[in-house]
């Protein structure tokens, strides 16, 4: 195959459109995953079985079914019952919901890692339960799990091309459309390099953050 820079030049406008879709899906999907994951983790520690059991069942179901199946369900099946969203919004919700079940486990591990003495001290001081969580437990737990949460952001980035299957053209979706229309393949290498350029510095940042937290803990 002969490399054609003209093809790359023609593809770049579509590439920037796809990059913007990828970054939005990653940003908002991460926000949903982090927020909802914390809700799942707290609900799983509820004193009430009627809260714990449904949450455990839902998170296990989501965690053990493929992301692509979930995206198809949200985009093609769910609208028959009511809610209907654009491909990008559906992709964001699907990514966030799927990864929230993994971040819930990360939060759970962080909460379990808080020394028992912290709970006992809060009890001895008669601190309200909400105050115990917000002022003592969660700050320590979240500090412990920041690097792991960052790793899931990178994992979400690598899974983001799946949203193209429901019409949200991310970088890979734009590359595939352009390649099919022009019978070229340079676009795939451009997208592959773009993923490396985004993911590798992010992984270095996470490692640096992990070392920093380890030194200050």
pTM summary value: 0.90
* Residues sharing a CB contact under 8 Å with residue 119, sequence separation 6 or more, in sequence order: 132, 137
* Residues sharing a CB contact under 8 Å with residue 172, sequence separation 6 or more, in sequence order: 18, 161, 164, 188, 191
Q: What is the mean pLDDT of residues 54-77?
A: 95
Tell me the DSSP string of 20-47: HHHHHHHHHHHHHHHHHHHHHHHHHT-S
Angle at 35 between CA 152 and CA 138, to 5 degrees: 95
**DSSP 8-class letter at 103:** H
Q: How far is it, in rounded angstroms, from Cα 41 to Cα 161?
A: 28
CA gyration radius, the chain: 21
Is residue 83 pLDDT above 90, yes or no? no
Fold of 20-171: MetI-like fold (1.10.3720)
Q: How far is it, in rounded angstroms, from Cα 115 to Cα 117?
A: 5
Write out pLDDT tens, residues 98-126: 999 999 999 999 888 888 888 778 878 77
pLDDT score for 159: 95
**For residue 139, what pLDDT band results from cuts at 50, 70 and 90?**
confident
Angle at 173 between CA 167 and CA 95, to 5 degrees: 65
Residue 46 backbone class (left: φ over 0; alpha: ψ -120 to 50; beta: rest): beta
Q: How far is it, in rounded angstroms, from Cα 160 to Cα 202?
A: 16
* Residues sharing a CB contact under 8 Å with residue 156, sequence separation 6 or more, in sequence order: 26, 29, 30, 33, 95, 99
Write out pLDDT tens, residues 154-181: 999 999 999 999 999 999 999 999 999 9
Compute CA 207 distance to the chain's CA centroid, rounded to the nearest angstrom. 18
Place of tokens 């799983």: 44
Domain ranges, ordered by start, for the chain = 20-171
């Amino acid at each position: 195959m002969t490399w054609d820079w003209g093809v790359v030049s023609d593809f770049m406008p579509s590439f920037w459109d796809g990059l913007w879709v990828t970054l939005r899906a990653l940003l908002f999907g991460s926000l949903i995953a982090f927020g909802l994951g914390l809700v799942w983790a707290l609900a799983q520690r509820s004193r009430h079985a009627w809260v714990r059991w449904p949450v455990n069942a839902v998170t296990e179901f989501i965690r053990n079914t493929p992301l692509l199946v979930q995206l198809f369900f949200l985009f093609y099946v769910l609208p028959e019952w009511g809610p209907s969203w654009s491909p990008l919004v559906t992709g964001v919700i699907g990514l966030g919901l799927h990864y929230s079940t993994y971040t819930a486990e990360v939060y759970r591990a962080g909460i379990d890692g808080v020394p028992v003495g912290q709970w006992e001290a809060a009890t001895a001081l008669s601190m309200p339960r909400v105050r115990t969580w917000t002022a003592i437990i969660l700050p320590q737990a979240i500090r412990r799990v920041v690097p792991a949460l960052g790793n899931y952001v990178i994992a979400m980035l690598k899974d983001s091309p799946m949203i193209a299957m429901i019409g949200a053209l991310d970088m890979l979706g734009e590359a595939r459309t352009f390649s099919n229309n022009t019978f070229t393949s340079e676009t795939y290498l451009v997208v592959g390099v773009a993923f490396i350029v985004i993911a590798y510095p992010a992984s270095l940042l996470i490692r640096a953050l992990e070392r920093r937290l380890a030194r200050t803990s």
